Every structure is written in structure tokens, then in C-alpha cells.
């Protein structure tokens, strides 16, 4: 008799890992490509956020000498911030729900196997 060994991810652990670092919960669940894609998108959002912050800081240091730079800074800052928030919420909820689905599928397979 051969006993099947399988990994059953814990949804709470997946959510916590995704909270700590974007994409880590997906990698824990076995979704490597999705996890790496989310990491990349979070990095892009962070860079946009930081560039916006640098533009705003430069505009403030120069006593608002360049109004277009300030406007671009605010726009980039907000786009990056919103991107980070949306990715974070999606990342955590997806990791939790995917882990739950995997657990349910494994329980069904064991029950029928």
C-alpha cells in the first residue's frame, strides 16, 4: 500500500506571509508565477510611489519653483500609493482563498481516494 503525501497549505499562514511580503503567500500555495508577478508589480508600484515622493520633495525644497514637477509628483505618488494598496488587498485575500480551495480539494481527493 502506497500512502499519498500532499501539502495542505494553511490559509492563515498564506495570508500572513502575503501581508509580510507581497507574493509570498502565493509562492507558499505553490503559485510561483503568480507570486513573482505580484512581487514585480509591487516593486513597480513602489518605484512609482518613490519617484513621486522625490518630485514632491524637490518641489518643496526649491520653494515650489517648478509647479509641473509638483503636479507630476503628486500624480505619481497617488498612483503608486493606490497601486500598493490595491495589490496588497488582492494579494492577501487571494492567498487566503487559494489556500482554502487547495485544502478543500485535498480533503475531497482524500475522501474519494
Domain annotation covers residue 58: yes
Domain annotation covers residue 9: no
- How many independent structural domains does the chain possess? 1
The residue ranking higher by pLDDT, 113 or 70, is 70
Local confidence band at 113 (pLDDT 50, 70, 90 cut-offs): low
Residue 7, all three cell numbers: 501539502
Domain annotation covers residue 48: yes
Domain annotation covers residue 14: no
Domain annotation covers residue 13: no
Domain annotation covers residue 35: yes
List, for residues 6-49, the tens digit of each pLDDT value: 788 999 999 999 999 999 999 999 999 999 999 999 999 999 99
- Entry pTM: 0.86
| Rounded CA separation 89/54 (Å) | 26
Range of the domain at 93: 22-108
Give Cα 11 to chain centroid, integer Å: 16
Domain annotation covers residue 6: no
CA angle (14 as vertex; 11, 20 as ends), nearest 5: 140
Amino acid at each position: 500500500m502506497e500512502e499519498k503525501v500532499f501539502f495542505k497549505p494553511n490559509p492563515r499562514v498564506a495570508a500572513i506571509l502575503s501581508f509580510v511580503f507581497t507574493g509570498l503567500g502565493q509562492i507558499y500555495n505553490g503559485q510561483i508565477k503568480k507570486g513573482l508577478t505580484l512581487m514585480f508589480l509591487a516593486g513597480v508600484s513602489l518605484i512609482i510611489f518613490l519617484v513621486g515622493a522625490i518630485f514632491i520633495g524637490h518641489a518643496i525644497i526649491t520653494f515650489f519653483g517648478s509647479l509641473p514637477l509638483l503636479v507630476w509628483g503628486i500624480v505619481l505618488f497617488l498612483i503608486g500609493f493606490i497601486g500598493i494598496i490595491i495589490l496588497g488587498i488582492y494579494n492577501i485575500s487571494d492567498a487566503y482563498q487559494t489556500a482554502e480551495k487547495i485544502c478543500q480539494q485535498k480533503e475531497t481527493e482524500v475522501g474519494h481516494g
